[in-house]
Amino acid sequence: MFDFTWFADPNAWAALLTLTLLEIVLGIDNIVFISILVDRLPPEQRKKGRIIGLGLAMICRLCLLATISWMMSLTTNLFSISVHPVLWKMIPYAAEHGGQLGISGKGLILLAGGFFLIWKATKEIHHKLEGEEESHTSSKAATFGAIMAQIAIIDIVFSLDSVITAAGMADHLSVMMLAVVISIGVMMLAAASIGDFVSKHPSVKMLALSFLILIGTALIAEGFHFEIPKGYIYFAMAFSLGVELLNLKIRSKSTR
């Protein structure tokens, strides 16, 4: 199953480095989602929640990589739906297939994950706007378990792109798995700082929730074969974050 003959191949090491960096970039949205969810846990459980959440992400990706042939079969259409000719220009896939929009197993997972993200982010925004906070009077185990269950569900969705990217960039399964392990390790080191920063600044948390709605919309679009280049999404997120950091600096100066 594991072939380590690539150790002497410079191209394999280049693929490992590139893939690790890509896995970290693709994992940013995962860190944001986990940070927002664990923020609803008691303070003493947040660090544990982040570590277990990212551990679940790693397990999901490794399991999916181990079944990579099955993963690639998820791109086969399960059924098709008819699309009105007016929408053909918006969805080139439908125009190329005579107005039929094929829905695959991957598409169904992306659609479910996208709707879940939008629902969860909208619910969190509602809590913030209404000043509602979840009560922690329930048992810690139940609260912690519920949060971990939500993280596990969305980890599967976030892992799809990660695994398919890995399969397209590396020829050796061991290279793919090593890249996933290294990237998750890096994210575990950064998760605490990101989580504390998001938790400390309410406006940043609202921005992060908006990012989740954006990501959820992109997942739904991708499920319907409407590709939104990820570069556009990441640029919009980076630009918005840059503006928010400037606002934080201005507010900090005003306070002093």
Q: Where are the domains of the chain?
A: 9-255
Pairing of strands 100-104, 77-82: antiparallel
Question: Rounded to an integer, what distance in angstroms lies between the CA atom of residue 118 and that of residue 164?
Answer: 23
Question: Rounded to an integer, what distance in angstroms lies between the CA atom of residue 209 and that of residue 36?
Answer: 8
Determine if the pTM surpasses 0.85: no
| pLDDT score of 137 more than 50 | no
Q: Which pLDDT tens digit goes with each residue over 49-100?
A: 888 888 888 888 888 777 766 766 677 777 888 877 776 667 777 777 777 7
Tokens of 86: 């007016």
Question: Rounded to an integer, what distance in angstroms lies between the CA atom of residue 113 and that of residue 110?
Answer: 5
Question: Rounded to an integer, what distance in angstroms lies between the CA atom of residue 160 and that of residue 216?
Answer: 14
87 DSSP assignment: G
| pLDDT score of 33 more than 70 | yes
Contact indicator for 73, 218 with CB cutoff of 8 Å? no
Percentage of the chain exceeding pLDDT 70 = 82
Residue 136 banded pLDDT, cuts 50, 70, 90 = very low
Contact indicator for 81, 103 with CB cutoff of 8 Å? yes
Question: Rounded to an integer, what distance in angstroms lies between the CA atom of residue 202 and that of residue 234?
Answer: 21
| pLDDT score of 139 more than 60 | no
Q: What is the mean pLDDT of residues 116-129?
A: 83
Question: Rounded to an integer, what distance in angstroms lies between the CA atom of residue 108 and that of residue 115?
Answer: 11
Residue 134 banded pLDDT, cuts 50, 70, 90 = very low
Please report the pLDDT score of residue 201 as a whole number.
79
